Amino acid sequence: MGLSKGNDYIMISNVLYRFALFATPLLIMSSFADANHVLDRCDSEKHEVLSTPHECARPCIDGEKPKTCYYQFYLESYVTMGQACEYCLPNITNQLNATCQCVTADGVERAVLTVNRMIPGPSIQVCKGDYVVIDAVNLMSGQAMSIHWHGILQDGSQYYDGVPFVTQCPIADGNSFRYQWLAGNEGTHFWHAHHGSQRIDGLYGSIIVRTEKSFHRNMYDYDRPQDVIMLSDWFHVSASEHWPGTQVVNMGQNPDSLLIEGLGQYTDPATGNTTTTPLAVYKVKPGKRYRMRCIVATSMHCPYEFSIEGHRLLLIATDGVNIEPTWVDSIMSTGGERYDFVLFPKKNYSQKSYWIRLRTLDPCAGIQQFAVLQHKGGPDLPSSPRPVYNESFVTNGVVANAMNVNCSDNNRTELCVSDFRTTISYDNNIGDEPDFKHAVAFNFTAWLPADLYKPNSYGRFLMVAKDVPLSANLGQLSYVGPPSPVLSQFEDVPPDVFCNETHRPVPVGGVSMCTNMMNIPLGALCEFIVYDPSATTGLNHPMHLHGYHFHVVGMGLNPGKYPVLNNTVIHIYDKQNLLPRNFINPVLKDTVTIPSRGYVIIRFPANNPGFWLFHCHFDFHMITGMQMILHVGEQKDLPPVPPGFPKCSDYKPPIESVYEMKYL
């Protein structure tokens, strides 16, 4: 696929920039740590005052003049436990930028991708109303990239949502791209690579948007920059070893390990030896209350459980939206979600430390990772032994976002996401008859080897287990990106690449591969019933929608007599009132886990025009086709394409044209 620059001006500035970058790399890298140098250089470039990451991570005061917060992201191929670790170990409480270029992860050496030689990458911490500018510089040889700002609604900055071939062209290696958006919605969010499987290899970091009068402000004493708990799953090889997937070595997609705030230790099952790399440490004072911001940045198909030894968690927000405070013992998630909770360090337990734990559950059971909650004066590690995998911290049985429970059963202790209640004002018409109703299934299709390996055909697949190649889809359509971004170059996209549930291309081996796009009128009240049509207990897919928060008005398991869900069964159940909906303060989220063989009902007013990706947040499912575009509104509803915005397309000139240019 060809890439071209937008115009000559951009091309010239790129050449100059590249020269500066490669001719004087030390100067550029050191300028990141030198705030004044950055400000001087950029001030003259943009003629406005830019603030550094540290200046922006400040206590927020209502009425204060918003800042323009400037970040430089250098994306590189890098290593964990590399030579840099002979010189320093990372300062584990500082997440805005690293003073040490050693990346430890869980102590196992491997190739990774990093932003500014950190995992997680730099934390963007700003106040609501600030303007955020990120210059992303792609130094990853041979890899294009883009960055999505997960949870930032991009209403008005649609061109910076970071989805390749939807909102922008992939950024080629050697190029840089300036993202800029308004931090318009408060809360705990995160950024991550949105191209291929790069996120899995380390390209993610937190985004925290604070406001002085946050709804639950009186419930905690501290909301500190270091109280971010980023959870991730981790391979000991590059993600490319697992996609499309092997038959013998590194088979399947179960992670090898987990990380908490990019740190951890690993016990080699062959030798029993455990690495000695640092664990994340959260230092607290007994008797004080802390707002903790937990980000589930995992990528694999597993459910993950987070808990803290000896402490209950008071949930106050999810996906950046405040909820009625809810006590829980643990949080489960399949990724893409955020949970903010108030932590109450025990009053009379100074000089003590506790285990913070993340563990996988079925179908990935057996993996866990730890961090440390250190009360003032407490030891570096808890005195209690490290819990074995099966030991539970869930003393009262209150699991938030429990997978596969009957959400209609009133006698349960586990909580469904649909139990949470929002505390913010919302569209009161959410309970009206929707203008737009749609049922959509997350599904897989098994490839027959005769179809998959037919000469001159190149079907896309994910080898989930030995001899099990699958294609992933939404509504039996396996998504393939268009050759040009639909947002910025709609007129360049051939109309025949698009499909929807009534316009399907001829399937090859049972799979229709096309750009699955649904048109939705601007302002329509939308309802989606998203369901899992599996015949056997399988996975819990996390569904993420860009550009919106949606209300989760219903969720549950298969409620009726039909053994398997399909569109007809969903319709029958709905007629029989077996799919109940709650319209009283329904929780608002941007990512929700679909119960295995069950359903979730979401509603939202389609008030943000654009091309918004709607997809499974498991990376390998997404890149195997489990995604679609919701096209809200029309071209006239969108802001104009920014001047000089990079373009890309296929290039297929008439074959004789080269000959004519040279010889005629």
**Measured from the CB of residue 594, what is the shortest distance to Cu ion in angstroms?**
9
Shortest distance, position 610 Cβ to Cu ion, whole Å: 23
Binding mask 526-545 for Cu ion (x = CB under 5 A): ---------------x----
Mark out the alpha helices in 443-563 (DSSP H runs): 449-452
Q: Which is nearer to Cu ion, 150 or 541 (CB)?
A: 541
Closer residue to Cu ion, CB minimum distance, 77 or 566: 566
Residue 472: strand pairing partners:
444
479 — alpha (psi -120 to 50), left (phi > 0) or beta? beta
Select 38 or 616, whichever has its Cβ closest to Cu ion.
Answer: 616
Asked whether the beta carbons of 471 and 461 are under 8 A apart, the reply is yes
Query: With CB under 5 A as the contact rule, which of the stretches 210-218, 283-291, 408-416, 609-617 interacts with Cu ion?
Result: 609-617
Using CB under 5 A as the binding rule, whether residue 312 contacts Cu ion is answered as no
> Using CB under 5 A, which residues numbered 41 to 70 contact Cu ion?
none
Q: Is 616 in the site for Cu ion (CB under 5 A)?
A: yes
For residue 324, with 0-12 CB atoms within 10 Å meaning exposed, 13-18 middle and 19 or more buried, which class applies? middle
Query: Which residue lies nearer to Cu ion by CB, 444 or 612?
Result: 444
Site size toward Cu ion, by CB under 5 A: 4
Give how far Cα 393 sits from Cα of 198, 267, 303, 381, Å: 33, 21, 16, 17
The alpha-helical segments, DSSP class H, found in 47-136 are 53-56
Measured from the CB atom, is 382 or 542 closer to Cu ion? 542
CA 452 to chain centre: 30
328 or 616: whose CB is closer to Cu ion?
Answer: 616
Element (H, E) at 38: helix 35-46
Q: How far is the CB of 622 from Cu ion (least distance, A)?
A: 7
Question: Exposed e or buried b for every residue in 232-249, given b needs 16+ CB within 10 A?
Answer: bbbbbebbeebbbbeeee
**Between 462 and 616, whose beta carbon lies closer to Cu ion?**
616
Beta-carbon contacts of residue 391 (< 8 Å; ≥ 6 apart): none
CB of 606 to Cu ion, least distance (A): 24
CB 572 within 8 A of CB 408: no
- 621 scored as a contact of Cu ion (CB under 5 A): yes
Q: Per rule CB under 5 A, is residue 613 in the interface with Cu ion? A: no
If one asks whether residue 147 binds Cu ion (CB under 5 A), the answer comes out as: no
Looking at the Cβ atoms of 195 and 621, the one nearer to Cu ion is 621
Task: Pick one of 548, 618, 620, 645: the residue that binds Cu ion (CB under 5 A).
Answer: 618
Min. distance of Cβ 188 from Cu ion in angstroms?
A: 23
Euclidean distance between CA atoms 167 and 612, whole angstroms: 8
Can you list the alpha helix ranges (DSSP code H) found in 368-516?
A: 449-452
Residue 47 burial (CB count, 10 A):
7
Least Å distance between CB 626 and Cu ion? Answer: 5
Q: Could you tell me which stretch among 258-266, 463-471, 617-625, 656-664 binds Cu ion (CB under 5 A)?
A: 617-625
Site residues (CB under 5 A) for Cu ion, limited to 538-577: 541
Smallest distance from Cu ion to CB 446, Å:
15
Query: Are residues 190 and 207 in contact, defined by beta-carbon separation less than 8 angstroms?
Result: yes
- Which CB sits closer to Cu ion, 179 or 618? 618
Q: Which residue ranges make up the site for Cu ion (CB under 5 A)?
A: 541, 616, 618, 621
